[in-house]
Amino acid sequence: MIMNDNASSASPSHSELAQRIRAFVNERVIPHESTLARDDDAALTLQSALAAEARSLGLWGLYYPAALGGKVARLSDYLPIAEQEGRSEFGPEIFGGRAALDVRMLSLHGSDAIASRFLHPLAAGDAVSAYGMSEPDSIGSIPATINLQAQREGDGWRLNGRKWFISRARRADFITVVARTLADAPPQQALSMLVMPTDAPGFSILRDLDILGRRNGQHELLFDNVRLPQDHLLGELHGGMALMKQRLRLGRSINAAHWIGLAQRCLDLLGERVNSERGRLARLPDKQLIRRLAFITHQGIVSARGQLQLAAARLDAGLDGDMEVNMAKIAASHALNQAADNAIQVFGAEGLCDATPLSNIFRYARATRILDGADEVLINTVGRRILDGYGASAEQPAPQDALAGRETTLS
Amino acid sequence: MIMNDNASSASPSHSELAQRIRAFVNERVIPHESTLARDDDAALTLQSALAAEARSLGLWGLYYPAALGGKVARLSDYLPIAEQEGRSEFGPEIFGGRAALDVRMLSLHGSDAIASRFLHPLAAGDAVSAYGMSEPDSIGSIPATINLQAQREGDGWRLNGRKWFISRARRADFITVVARTLADAPPQQALSMLVMPTDAPGFSILRDLDILGRRNGQHELLFDNVRLPQDHLLGELHGGMALMKQRLRLGRSINAAHWIGLAQRCLDLLGERVNSERGRLARLPDKQLIRRLAFITHQGIVSARGQLQLAAARLDAGLDGDMEVNMAKIAASHALNQAADNAIQVFGAEGLCDATPLSNIFRYARATRILDGADEVLINTVGRRILDGYGASAEQPAPQDALAGRETTLS
Amino acid sequence: MIMNDNASSASPSHSELAQRIRAFVNERVIPHESTLARDDDAALTLQSALAAEARSLGLWGLYYPAALGGKVARLSDYLPIAEQEGRSEFGPEIFGGRAALDVRMLSLHGSDAIASRFLHPLAAGDAVSAYGMSEPDSIGSIPATINLQAQREGDGWRLNGRKWFISRARRADFITVVARTLADAPPQQALSMLVMPTDAPGFSILRDLDILGRRNGQHELLFDNVRLPQDHLLGELHGGMALMKQRLRLGRSINAAHWIGLAQRCLDLLGERVNSERGRLARLPDKQLIRRLAFITHQGIVSARGQLQLAAARLDAGLDGDMEVNMAKIAASHALNQAADNAIQVFGAEGLCDATPLSNIFRYARATRILDGADEVLINTVGRRILDGYGASAEQPAPQDALAGRETTLS
Amino acid sequence: MIMNDNASSASPSHSELAQRIRAFVNERVIPHESTLARDDDAALTLQSALAAEARSLGLWGLYYPAALGGKVARLSDYLPIAEQEGRSEFGPEIFGGRAALDVRMLSLHGSDAIASRFLHPLAAGDAVSAYGMSEPDSIGSIPATINLQAQREGDGWRLNGRKWFISRARRADFITVVARTLADAPPQQALSMLVMPTDAPGFSILRDLDILGRRNGQHELLFDNVRLPQDHLLGELHGGMALMKQRLRLGRSINAAHWIGLAQRCLDLLGERVNSERGRLARLPDKQLIRRLAFITHQGIVSARGQLQLAAARLDAGLDGDMEVNMAKIAASHALNQAADNAIQVFGAEGLCDATPLSNIFRYARATRILDGADEVLINTVGRRILDGYGASAEQPAPQDALAGRETTLS
């Protein structure tokens, strides 16, 4: 809705890309959403066909590195585009926006072997990637509990252990896993990232994990003496923790943009329903309590968008943006949950069943408050950092850059 | 948790009944919840077997009229029992608590034919009932939009039209439907209730309506020249609106008690998780933000319970309790949504998948904010009535009963 | 408003007392509130005259012990009466309800000397009491930081130190102070309560502390070698902590009832304003957002009242009611803040100035979220206790009293 | 705190101005706040001296038109500066930021007579202005109820009626009043703005209106046959309503920036308190519930800042920004209330008394939810406009500018 505001600071071509993505979502994706939401081969086939169509139109992988066909270099410029991708839950897959995270991580840190075997097919839309961090016995916010073993064996690695809540693992051609490469060390020095093809012997999918009844493609994985060559290590040995943070930062940012787009979609559905024949029969346009729901929904979206822009500006400038990214993640997740919830309330019982995409969006939204960092964990982290800033500044007042406050106090 | 407080004002036998229900739920129902949640014959068979077991233990139909085997006469006394029935989502079916509403409505208003054909089998657990009010083209809060036609034909009736979001219709042996019996009249004089056996020619189920992905047994129904004999009219001709209100009042009250029980169950799950090995590994017992979730959850439950007791006391005393019932409905629904949401947050990703009953409870809970009166509708109704009370009192100050305020001002 | 519900379980005389208090507040107190709110001698003179009038009508000290003229023995019975006392901010002083806490503490724990010198004048309305716990260098929620020294000197005590945020100290004839009687011991064994006449040499008032601009009579006190005789010790030597807890429990309960009454008063003002000529000019009765404010306000009051009744029932039964009292304190404080805030919003700018009592009530209300236990402290305490209960039950399931849950799990 | 982010898009001189304002507030204003908060001559004298000092440093009237000495032309550029002005409640007076609204209105619409008699002294800091809209019998959100009569008399006007809640009227040298210049016409054609010197015969101040106990300088005014020459008309005859809207738009924007600055000040106080010796004694830095307060406070500030920037960008571009301004007004007011409330909660009882500026800020903040547009009015207006947008778009889908959504749908 506020695209024009964003567009004003983007180059015309970014604005045009966003418009074209929007048109594609409206015309090619949304009409097929009920099919795409099914957990069957037809859904995957259709998704692939739409992705191929998007590629043929030059709308694929817009935020990939330029060498891999990307057209948008700065995160700030990508945000309005990503919002449009996100207006359908299936957009991020169809436009390669979901894969942008892996494409960027593998571009930055991958060996030549990783590049040729995994990165290039991924960037071309010929492979599907997944990421494996959570484990049945680990605590998401405590990396020290990660316990998938990657032991040296000859020139390579041998993996043993389990992962769970791994998205798209059943469809994935390869998985970047976080593994323990040093037994008795703090996580900063003990974890590494390794890229594993899913046809590796010893790897299997133990079970599918539905999310609020949706077969979203979350899985539990078994690694039983899986062997990997040495050059499948991503980045530095024992340097996995830094990569995890980098990945989280970028992943939260891209997700947040997609979620804001989806929240806007919910508001659009809400607004159209209010003005529909059925909405007018129920006199919804005149009801202050319905207007209040629209207000709250819109305010949540605008607020999240603003926070995400702040975060992107910092990341684009090479500054530490962890706090801003975390705030934007919470805000976007909150905006999406609120938008889906309010829209359902306006649709009434129809909002609960499959007559609209809201049933799926509502459940997808709920998961965003947990995956990639639960609300409570992030609130605690951000709150501590805000307060720590005042402790630091109290000790070294640094009056000369009082205005610059943020760097010295909140980092 | 606060059972003993309730129990103190109930006769010992009510307290004992609540204890026995609790034990049955813990030992016989909860261990089978994942089976009962499935939408298949095995689930229905198990549910019937458990209901038979409950009957054999004297735990069936406790809030039915005494003549039909009920053991609890006052709603106030039934509340603590209903909470225990509600601790599993499947309890209300298994203990006949879900049917209590139809049993009472048919007892109060049914003809002899209705009693022998529908009421007695229902009370004996040999029949399943449903209730049909909502229609695809009606607005739930505006009875004037109800449009199922019941035309006189000879001694009886001919039904034509559709209903939707009708719970349990596929399993039901009969359905009490709200129909229009007078064409051009306000709803207070135009609607009637009729009891229809589901094997009546012309009746069919058009489709199943999932609720947030759950095959809960909501359906859309077609009435195509369905014929009913005259004595299948429930209550007075054209008097359906008064029955709808009576039914809503009692139905909201019983549901609210079940929801509070289910909310307490969520808090129990939350508390046990915090104190589990996994919870202690994540240091949950020491985290103030987790304690806050427990506080909010408990507070919501206690608040809803108190409001429901107020409502029941008024209904038991034969007073107008509409406002109190509506408040209790909102409060219980809110408590349940909050409890399910907070418990999921504490369980993390596991709370989203099928490892716990929370995934089902969360989705069931969301529907309670819409079915039987959406939040916004009830907030508006109650708020108006509170304010109207001050208008009435302003006009007729009636100082002699200033203290009795509520009757004269808020009714 | 719900007086009749309460009254139904109270003896007729309690109901009648509540009605008479209500009439007195309406006719004798509310018309003089703007005078009573002033910080001058005229206000105190008027307050004394009204208190004398209440005494002459038998409406003074209703919750005092029977031997001191009280007429209500059980806290549960006093609650509806206390609500009526609280409908004006000045009621608790005028009816002796504010003093009930000191009357009861001194009755339970006072020596003969304390009884004759302090208790009897207080109960007769001839003396004003205060209570001194907080100190400039102490943390309210950490008793170990209390540091007023009471050293033995001959048969008696010598006090040195400071207290602050002590209500009514300038008007008080005596102050019960919490002092450290043992230097190096944990607070459970180190603190004692002593009763000090305010004309004791060495005692002085350092300054007045306004609360949000109100000269409410909060003060900072200096104890400079104040000498007290031995028999001015209240309760056991070094047993002050248990008395503090007892006092807090009862004080929070009585305050909560007064706050609920004041919240109801705000709702009454809100409702009357909506229905006033000015309210109708602004079409307030038709606005859903105004109805929502009325709903929220009423719901907060009903919820707090229910929680306070639970707490009182436990205290009357001699059970541990700490958790319930803390919850009721938070709920009543919240209800009052919300009611004052919503009423101001409905009055608009007039609600901010002195045209209504709301300006004073709003500021009084804000302090209740801090005094006698800040929200955050109580939420943490209650939340921990809820969660601890599940830890205990996990270790000793005690199935035989599973229903009694609360005692074994939440105490 | 996020100044550097803003600064990056501002010219260096804007950033430098903000820094210099910040330094002046820290060094010259904050140390004198308790004096400035008093309602006496000393406060006014000190304020004037500080304003003169600011002028001598080139920090006065930064957002005035360039011809009147202003240095910042675009609202977007002024926002970060205004935030710094607002960090003390007294900054907007001292830097001429409060007067900027009148300076701009008189510059745009004033006659030569108005310019020389009122505008130039005001811009030079030699006169104080006020604005008179609200009336004892009017409803703020319904301009049709404005009833101050301005009747033609010879070449000029004769004013009769009352105004109330007029800020600074006792100190003002002149007041811009909204008056009815046509009897029986809708407000769009009936109201005019007139500038009245406060020494005009017939004008008097009826009484002072405290705001939550603060002598903020709100007043009730009497106009008893006050005569004004013709050239004291501001703008077009009967064109007052358009001016009121223009004034509200700009006034809300400037106020919002000041409020955000004040909210940030509260967060700074909160953060410093947590890290103070007393805060560490209470272990505040480790408490998650305190971190949560910091998080919420910071999030509110960031969100309001982002919304205000959106609004300013639209106004600077000459676009309709009413909806954005209204949203920013609500957000900034909410952020300020929340910040003051949370900071008080962290300070405890000390936050309530005069030991910090919080007691004053808290009360000032509460008024912002009513003055210049009550929350409920604005939520309703914005919500309606959001929903109306979908109605408009439904009728004329205009697919070619789907992306530009906002203009066609939400204006």
H/E run at residue B162: strand B156-167
Per-residue pLDDT tens for A223-234? 999 999 999 999
Residue C155 lies in a domain: yes
Q: Please give, rounded to a whole number of angstroms, the shortest distance from the CA of A78 to a CA of chain D.
A: 16
pTM (two decimals): 0.94
* pLDDT for position D37: 93
Domain extent at residue B366: 242-373
CA D72 – CA D64 distance, rounded (Å): 7
* Distant-in-sequence contacts of C137-144, Cβ < 8 A, 24+ apart: C139/D278, C139/D281, C139/D282, C140/C373, C140/C374, C140/C377, C140/D348, C140/D349, C141/C373, C141/C374, C141/C377, C141/D282, C142/D281, C142/D282, C143/C187, C143/C191, C143/C241, C143/C244, C144/C186, C144/C187
> Residue C140 above 90 pLDDT?
no
Q: Do A213 and A249 have their domain in common?
A: no
Q: What is the CATH number of the domain that holds B51?
A: 1.10.540.10
Q: What is the mean pLDDT of chain C?
A: 92
Q: Please give, rounded to a whole number of angstroms, the shortest distance from the CA of D42 to a CA of chain A.
A: 30
Q: Do D260 and D339 have their domain in common?
A: yes
Structure tokens at C340: 């004052």
Q: Do C275 and C361 have their domain in common?
A: yes
D interface mutation test: which of A25, A274, A295 has the most D CBs within 10 A?
A: A295
Residue A172 lies in a domain: yes
Q: Do B78 and B167 have their domain in common?
A: no
Residue of A79, A95, A115 lying closest to A260 (CA atoms):
A79
> Residue B410 above 90 pLDDT?
no
Strands C191-197 and C149-153: unpaired
Average pLDDT of C185-197?
95
- If pLDDT is split at 50, 70 and 90, which confidence band does B92 have? very high
Residue B83 lies in a domain: yes
- Mark yes or no for CB contact A352/B376 under 8 Å: no
State what percent of residues in chain C have pLDDT above 90.
89
CB A166 within 8 A of CB A219: yes
Average pLDDT of C2-12?
43
List alpha helices for B348-401, DSSP H: 349-352, 358-368, 375-395
Q: Do C188 and C274 have their domain in common?
A: no
- If pLDDT is split at 50, 70 and 90, which confidence band does B12 have? low
> Residue D1 above 50 pLDDT?
no
Could you say which residues from 248 to 267 on chain C have a Cβ atom under 8 Å away from some Cβ of chain A? none
- If pLDDT is split at 50, 70 and 90, which confidence band does D360 have? very high
Structure tokens at B367: 């529907």
> Which of A349, A354, A360 faces B370 most closely, judged by CB atoms?
A349
Q: Do D247 and D209 have their domain in common?
A: no
Neighbours of chain B (3+ CB pairs under 8 A): A, C, D
Using a CB-CB cut-off of 8 Å, the residues of chain A touching C292 are 289, 292
Residue A58 lies in a domain: yes
What torsion do the CA atoms of D386, A289, D299, D29 make, to the nearest 10 degrees? Answer: 90
**Of the candidates C53, C76, C110, which is a domain's last residue?**
C110
Residue B80 lies in a domain: yes
> Residue A127 above 60 pLDDT?
yes
**Of the candidates D234, D253, D276, which is a domain's last residue?**
D234
- Measured from the Cβ of residue A57, the count of other Cβ atoms closer than 10 Å reads 13
* pLDDT for position D369: 98
Q: What is the CATH number of the domain that holds D205?
A: 2.40.110.10
How many Å is the Cα radius of gyration of chain D? 22
- Mark yes or no for CB contact D282/C367 under 8 Å: no
Average pLDDT of A200-208?
97
Q: Do D172 and D89 have their domain in common?
A: no
Using a CB-CB cut-off of 8 Å, the residues of chain D touching A394 are 272, 275-276
CB C301 within 8 A of CB C267: yes
Q: Do C269 and C214 have their domain in common?
A: no
Could you say which residues from 174 to 233 on chain D have a Cβ atom under 8 Å away from some Cβ of chain C? 209-214, 218
Residue B337 lies in a domain: yes
Average pLDDT of C170-177?
97
Could you say which residues from 290 to 309 on chain C have a Cβ atom under 8 Å away from some Cβ of chain A? 292
Q: What one-character DSSP code corresponds to residue A28?
A: I
How many residues appear in chain D? Answer: 411
* pLDDT for position B216: 76
> Residue D407 above 50 pLDDT?
no
Q: Do A10 and A90 have their domain in common?
A: yes
Cα within 13 Å of Cα(A408), Cβ side: 15
User: For D19, which residue in chain A has the nearest alpha carbon?
Assistant: A403
How many Å is the Cα radius of gyration of chain A? 22
User: For A294, which residue in chain D has the nearest alpha carbon?
Assistant: D383
> Residue A394 above 90 pLDDT?
no
CA B383 – CA B296 distance, rounded (Å): 24
Q: What is the CATH number of the domain that holds A335?
A: 1.20.140.10
Q: Do D219 and D305 have their domain in common?
A: no
- Mark yes or no for CB contact B289/D288 under 8 Å: yes
Q: Please give, rounded to a whole number of angstroms, the shortest distance from the CA of A251 to a CA of chain D.
A: 21
Q: Please give, rounded to a whole number of angstroms, the shortest distance from the CA of C408 to a CA of chain B.
A: 10
H/E run at residue D129: strand D129-132
* pLDDT for position C12: 52
Q: Do C249 and C361 have their domain in common?
A: yes
Per-residue pLDDT tens for B174-225? 999 999 999 889 999 999 999 999 999 999 999 999 999 998 779 999 999 9
- Mark yes or no for CB contact D314/A4 under 8 Å: no
Q: Is C165 on the interface with D (CB under 8 A)?
A: yes
Structure tokens at D152: 């033609």
> Residue C293 above 50 pLDDT?
yes
Strands A174-180 and A129-132: parallel
CB C407 within 8 A of CB C387: no
Q: Do C27 and C91 have their domain in common?
A: yes
Does ipTM top 0.90?
yes
* pLDDT for position D392: 61
Q: Is B19 on the interface with C (CB under 8 A)?
A: yes
Residue C369 lies in a domain: yes
- If pLDDT is split at 50, 70 and 90, which confidence band does B400 have? very low
Per-residue pLDDT tens for B316-360? 999 999 999 999 999 999 999 999 999 999 999 999 999 999 999
CA B286 – CA A142 distance, rounded (Å): 15
CA D340 – CA D270 distance, rounded (Å): 9
Instruction: Count up the domains in chain C and report the number.
Output: 3
Residue A137 lies in a domain: yes
Kindly give the interhelix angle for A240-274 and A75-86, rounded to the nearest 10 degrees: 50
